[in-house]
Amino acid sequence: MPSIGAVRSESSGEIRSGSGSTPQKRRSISGGPISPPSPVKWKSPRRSVNGSPKTPSKEIEKDSDAKATRLHKSPMKKLSESFLDKSKWNPGDSKQMSAAKEALHVSTVPSTVVCREDEQNRIMDFCKACIEHEKAGSLYACGCPGTGKSLSMEKVRRALVDWAGQAGFQPPDLLSINCTSLTNTSEIFSKILEKQQPRKKTKSSTSPLQHLRNIYSKKQQSSGMKMMLIIADELDYLITRDRTVLHDLFMLTTLPFSSCILIGVSNAIDLADRFLPKLQSLNCKPMVVTFRAYSKDQILKILQQRLMALPSPVFQPQALELCARKVAAASGDMRKALSVCRSALEILEAELRESINSLSLSSEKGAFDQQTLPALDSLTNQEINIVRVDHMATALSKTFRSPIVDTIQSLPQHQQIILCSAVKLFRGGKKDTTVGELNKSYVDICKSVLVPPIGILELSSMCRVLSDQGLLKLGQAREDKLKRVTLKVDEADIAFALQGIRFFRNCLQ
């Protein structure tokens, strides 16, 4: 497969950011020329044009084919490698830092999609078989979000076109739809029809679906049939109450002279079983390819592959492993792993900035601050500047921790007492209560700790503030006192958050 995406070379940069150096070529939307934003020639940091899971651009492919040999050239080739030690990564240099961040961004598409070869091969084989035998077929790809489905579809698409060209078949038409962009579910048929017969005008009396059925029921005049590959993303948006649209879509592939290869992508694993039961009786159930959530090793491999493009190691290997393990245990979502890594990079950046500030401050005072050095003495020189396990741990805790405990700890005292009184009320097994009952419990607790209680008006407005924040749920009632109250936060969270304060601890005993 041609390597696209990771090629960051000067010339591919010219295609896009040539606009940066020749301002007169850029035009504003209204037609007048745009002047460059600053007097300094600002090179776009975006070098890889075709780095998107869904780019439609086809012409870039030809250029990148020629540059396939220059795979490992980094964007820093401008900075002469003579005065940069190749093995050391300098986070202070903004270019290197932004290159590292870009390598970890979700929108950067790697050249090869690792850990999904199996699924890609299966889909390729299916499509190849359809094209060879000139038969229609349907496939359903499912998996949790962030498991590489859309990415794999793009690769398969390109690969299919290449293979068809090489093997002598007619390359299939490609139609890629994201079902969220349809205003009406049956619009998908008009889109398919448009692609099938781009120039013909349809009679307004027949619906697009009927028209498609007519086309597929009659034998095509031309000899070699041109297949159409339809990739429908977020297929569950097509589910209506009577499930006709989804059903009709898949039935299109069962018509005798149908020429479409339908690939549906969605998150629900059992969509085919639940919503298309009739297809099973007709013996044309779609083939199901499940994209399982990434395991720890897979995540690690993908991260390492992305970071290979950088000239020197940026992360401590233990840090990457920690990230992979945590994310795999939580959801197996690759986007989250990338986000956590980028967050760790930013923490490193902030730390270095702070240490530079404090060093410069202390050198201004004249006394060199020796305290910052011993802590870093234990690490080798190289390790100071890369992302360590503690950075990664901080980034992970920021991502996975919910803000509830912090918020409860910083609530004003009366609101904390209200939460406590709710916890006490619900201990007996009751699940909801009224504001009046809550008030009684609240007054009791206030009496026991000798805090003057507030009136019921203020109490009910505080309950409303708590419900705005998502800690309580307040029902509707004509009178304030009769509104129903339920706790939305776990009792254990509240107890944990308030354990530092003695009287709450005693209260919640």
Partner 1 sequence: MRGRESPAEDALILFRSRICNPNFVFTPFSDSPDSNYSKLKFIISSSVTEACNNSILLLGPRGSGKTAVLELVIRDLLAEHADMISVIRLNGLLHSDDNCAVKEIARQLCVEHQLLFSKMASFDDNSQFMTAMLRECGLAHKTIIFVLDEFDFFTQARLPLSLMCVHTQKKAHVDWFLTFKFSDIGITSSLCSLQGKQRLLYSLLDAMQSVMSQAVVIGVSCRLDADQLLEKRVRSRFSHRKLLFLPPSKEDLQRLLEHILSLPVDTSLPNDYAVEFNTKLHHILADERFKEIINTLLNSDSTVKHLLRFLFYAVCHMDLESGFLSLDNFRTAMSSIQRQPKMEYLQDCSILELYILVCMKRLEVKEQNSYNFNSVMKEYKGIHDAYQTSDYYARSVCLRAFEHLVQRELICFMDNRGNNQSIEFRAVKLLISSHELYQGLKSYRSCPVSSFKSSV
Applying the rule CB under 8 A, the residues between 428 and 447 that interact with partner 1 are 439, 443
Could you say which residues in the range 470-499 bind partner 1, by CB under 8 A? Answer: 470-471, 488
C-alpha to C-alpha distance for 335 and 107, rounded to whole angstroms: 10
Which one of the spans 97-105, 287-295, 300-308, 372-380 is the region binding partner 1 (CB under 8 A)? 97-105
Q: Is 355 in the site for partner 1 (CB under 8 A)?
A: no
- Find the helix packing angle between 187-196 and 208-217, rounded to 10°: 40
C-alpha separations of 148 from 178, 188, 448, 480 in Å:
16, 24, 58, 51
Tokens representing 243 are: 């499930």
Could you say which residues in the range 247-286 bind partner 1, by CB under 8 A? Answer: 267
Could you say which residues in the range 448-467 bind partner 1, by CB under 8 A? Answer: 453-458, 462, 465
Strand segments, DSSP code E, in 307-460 are 433-434
C-alpha to C-alpha distance for 392 and 343, rounded to whole angstroms: 8
Q: Give 160: exposed, middle or buried? Use CB within 10 Å, 0-12, 13-18, 19+.
A: buried
Nearest to 333 by CA among 264, 405, 399: 399
In the complex, the smallest distance separating the C-beta of residue 83 from partner 1, rounded to whole angstroms, is 24
Q: Is 54 in the site for partner 1 (CB under 8 A)?
A: yes
**Among positions 2, 3, 14, 45, the unique one binding partner 1 when judged by CB under 8 A:** 45
DSSP secondary structure string for all residues of 270-305: THHHHH-HHHHHTT-PPEEEEEPPP-HHHHHHHHHH
In the complex, the smallest distance separating the C-beta of residue 282 from partner 1, rounded to whole angstroms, is 25
Nearer to partner 1, 178 or 305 (CB): 178
Could you say which residues in the range 216-245 bind partner 1, by CB under 8 A? Answer: 234, 237, 239-241
Could you say which residues in the range 128-157 bind partner 1, by CB under 8 A? Answer: 144-146
Could you say which residues in the range 398-427 bind partner 1, by CB under 8 A? Answer: 398-399, 402-404, 406-407, 410-414
Nearer to partner 1, 125 or 458 (CB): 458
Could you say which residues in the range 152-191 bind partner 1, by CB under 8 A? Answer: 178, 180-181, 183, 185
Nearer to partner 1, 3 or 407 (CB): 407
**Among positions 9, 75, 91, 102, the unique one binding partner 1 when judged by CB under 8 A:** 102
The label of the residue with tokens 């992970």 reads 396
Amino acid of residue 491 = E
Q: Is 359 in the site for partner 1 (CB under 8 A)?
A: no
